[in-house]
Amino acid sequence: MDIQGLSSAQKYAASRPATAPEPGTGGAGNMAANLARDFATTLQDTEATAKAAMTGQADPHALVQALAQTELAVETAVTVRDRVVEAYQEILRMPV
């Protein structure tokens, strides 16, 4: 009998519950809604920072940081959209 194999199997079985999804998280739909809400919040925060910078109430460095954060959020959203469209097209190509 391989003791190391048995030990690693037991360790895997013990760590398995730690990776299980939390009850009540809502799955992928809830995660997508949270991502959309965070994206909208990022855009609103950047808009508020830009307005404050135009009136001289915000530091220019804060504006640059907010714009960089928004750029990253937009690039991420475009990448996710492209992957979803690609997956949908791949499903359409499957034979029935």
pLDDT in tens, 16-59: 566 566 666 667 778 888 888 999 999 999 999 999 999 999 88
User: Residue 30 domain-assigned?
Assistant: yes
User: Residue 39 domain-assigned?
Assistant: yes
User: Residue 58 domain-assigned?
Assistant: yes
Say what the pLDDT of residue 95 is.
Answer: 87
Say what the pLDDT of residue 12 is.
Answer: 67
What pTM value is reported for the model? Answer: 0.63
User: Residue 85 domain-assigned?
Assistant: yes
The whole domain housing 45 covers 26-93
Task: Find out whether 42 and 73 touch, Cβ atoms under 8 Å.
Answer: yes
Query: What six digits make up the tokens of 63?
Result: 């504006």
User: Residue 12 domain-assigned?
Assistant: no
Counting the structural domains of the chain, the total is 1
* The three-state (H, E, C) secondary structure of the chain, written as one string: CCHHHHHHHHHHHHHHHHHCCCCCCCHHHHHHHHHHHHHHHHHHHHHHHHHHHHCCCCCHHHHHHHHHHHHHHHHHHHHHHHHHHHHHHHHHHCCC
